């Protein structure tokens, strides 16, 4: 999978359908407490993949929740589930309020199937996301994130997120994303 940045803004009809679905989901849930049902599905929405939905407000992360691998019947349902969770259940943030909705920007990442790697030399923080695993603990970091410039930084952040001590042995996996953003 390659990365694409298909969104063209948050305020017009130019949103990519995946980013638009995330936006409509969050707005419906925050304003009315309703979980929407997807309408007609684009080819990407019919796929099965792990999906992360990220929310930003004034350029700062406001919520990010996702699935490492598919848990729903299709990408549309993954987006809906993860958009609600990003807006209301990210433990790092309070739930999104209706007053914030005009200021939010949405990003949807579709993950390729994770593949095991033998070492750090097989990672590239601009191209690949990383999963670290130690027993039942797993941490994930998406690729091409601002301020993350090395594979070592990716691994350290993943370990911290998963509660894995830096000296514990980990299994490494990499994945690619197709990113659909509304900036």
Per-residue pLDDT of the chain (183 residues; tens, 9 = 90+): 444 443 333 344 567 999 999 999 999 999 999 999 988 999 999 999 999 999 999 999 999 999 999 999 999 999 999 999 999 999 999 999 999 999 999 999 999 999 999 999 999 999 999 999 999 999 999 999 999 999 999 999 999 999 999 899 999 999 999 999 865
**21-43 burial, b for 16+ CB within 10 Å, e for fewer?**
bbbbbbbbbbeeeeebebeeeee
Name the architecture of domain 17-111.
Answer: 2-Layer Sandwich (3.30)
CB within 8 A of 125, min separation 6: which ones?
143, 144, 145, 148, 149, 150, 151, 153, 154
Give the residue ranges of DSSP H helices in the chain: 17-32, 43-46, 75-88, 151-162
pLDDT of residue 15: 78
The pair of three-digit structure tokens given for residue 183, joined into one six-digit string: 């900036």
pLDDT of residue 166: 87
Separation of alpha carbons 105 and 139, rounded Å: 24
Quickly tell me which residue has 């209706």 as its tokens: 98
Domain ranges for the chain, please list them: 17-111, 115-179
Separation of alpha carbons 97 and 3, rounded Å: 31
Separation of alpha carbons 42 and 108, rounded Å: 15
* pTM confidence score: 0.88
Contact 139, 164 (CB under 8 A): yes
What's the helix, strand, coil split of the chain in %, to 5? Answer: 30, 25, 45
pLDDT of residue 14: 65
pLDDT of residue 183: 53
Number of neighbouring beta carbons within 10 Å of residue 144: 16
Separation of alpha carbons 38 and 140, rounded Å: 27
> Domain 115-179 belongs to what topology?
Dna Ligase; domain 1 (3.30.1490)
């Amino acid at each position: 999978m390659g990365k694409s940045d298909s969104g063209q803004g948050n305020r017009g009809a130019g949103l990519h359908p995946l980013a638009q679905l995330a936006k409509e989901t969050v707005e419906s849930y925050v304003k009315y407490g309703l979980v929407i049902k997807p309408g007609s599905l684009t080819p990407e929405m019919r796929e099965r993949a792990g999906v992360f939905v990220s929310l930003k407000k004034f350029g700062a992360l406001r919520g990010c929740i996702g699935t490492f691998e598919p848990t729903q019947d299709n990408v549309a349902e993954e987006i809906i589930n993860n958009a609600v969770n990003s807006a209301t259940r990210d433990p790092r943030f309070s739930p999104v309020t209706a007053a914030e909705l005009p200021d939010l920007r949405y990003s949807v990442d579709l993950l390729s199937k994770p593949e095991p790697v033998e070492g750090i030399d097989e990672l590239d923080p601009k191209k690949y996301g990383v999963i670290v695993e130690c027993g039942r603990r797993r941490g994930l970091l998406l690729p091409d994130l601002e301020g993350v410039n090395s594979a070592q930084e990716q691994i350290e952040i993943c370990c911290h997120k998963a509660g894995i001590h830096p000296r514990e042995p980990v299994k490494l996996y990499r994945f690619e994303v197709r990113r659909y953003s509304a900036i």
